[in-house]
Structure 1
Amino acid sequence: MIDLKQHPIIKQYIIWNRFGDLLGMDFEVESKGHVLYKMTVTNNHLATPFAAHGGSVAALIDAALGVACLTEVCEDLKVVSTVNLTISYLIPALKDDVLLADAQVIKSGKRILFVEGKITNQKGELVATASATMNAYPVSKISEKVF
C-alpha cells in the first residue's frame, strides 16, 4: 500500500491548509480512512485563562474527520468538504494538553462519506466526540495545479 500522506492531493492539502499551521496541527495516516491528528493547546487556543476555545477543538476534529475522508477518495482524484459536523464536548481541553483526534470513515459512497472521531488528551481522557458527513468532488473543481 502506498503511503497516503505522500499522495499528491494530500501533499497539496498540507501546503494549502494554512489554518492547520496556525493552530499547530499535524497528522499521520494510519490506514486508508483512518487518521490521527495532534494539537497541543497553547495560549493561542484559549478562551479563558486555562481552557481552550471550543472552536479550536472543533477545528481539530473537523480536520481529522476531513483528512480521514480525503484518504478514502484521493486515489480517485477527489477532495472533500464538510457538509455536517456534530460535536459533543465532554471535558475542557486545558492549556498544555496534547490533544489526539482519532478519525475513522464508517461508510464511503461515490459522493457522500460518513465519518466518526474522538479527541483524547495526554491522560487518555475523552475530551470530545464527533461525527460528520462529507462531500467528495473532483479536485479539478478547486485547482488544476495538483499534478
Structure 2
Amino acid sequence: MESDVPAATTVEIWTDGGCKPNPGPGGWGAILRFGEHIRELTGAEPATTNNRMELTAAASALEALRRPCKVIVHTDSEYVRNGVTRWVHGWVRNNWRNAAKEPVANYELWQRLLAAAKPHQVEWRWVRGHAGDAMNERADRLATAARESLLVR
C-alpha cells in the first residue's frame, strides 16, 4: 500500500516500560527520531504495572508528535503490539469487553493510545527486548532510570 505521507516525514519511535516489582513503582521511556533529530521522553508512577507503563510510553510518544506523519513504533511489548493491531478490533466490536466478556484491562490507556495514533500512519514493529537493539536498550535504560528516580526521593 502506497503512503500519502512523504517518506521525509517518517518518525521512528522506540518505547519501553516496566515495574519492579510488578505491580509496583514503574517507569517508561520513549525515543523519537526524525532524521538527525532525537528526542527522549520519560515518566514514572509510584504504583502501576508493566503493561500500563508500556502503553503509557507508546501513547506519550505519539502525543508528542506535532503534525500527522508516518510513524514506525518499535516496542518489545507483545501486549501493546498485539493489542493495537489485533485485539482492539474485537474489543471495540464487543463494547470494550474481552473474550471472557469482562471489561478490557487498561481501557483508558488503550483509548489514549488509539486517539494518539489516529492522526498518523503507524506501523507497529515488535523487537525482542534485551537482545542488542541499541535503541530498545536505550528506551529500557530511560524507563529504568525514571522508575529508580521514584525510589531516591
TM-score over 0.5 for the pair: no
Pick the structure with more strand per residue: 1
TM-score, structure 2 normalization: 0.28
Bigger RCO of structures 1 and 2 (CA < 8 A, at least 6 apart): 2
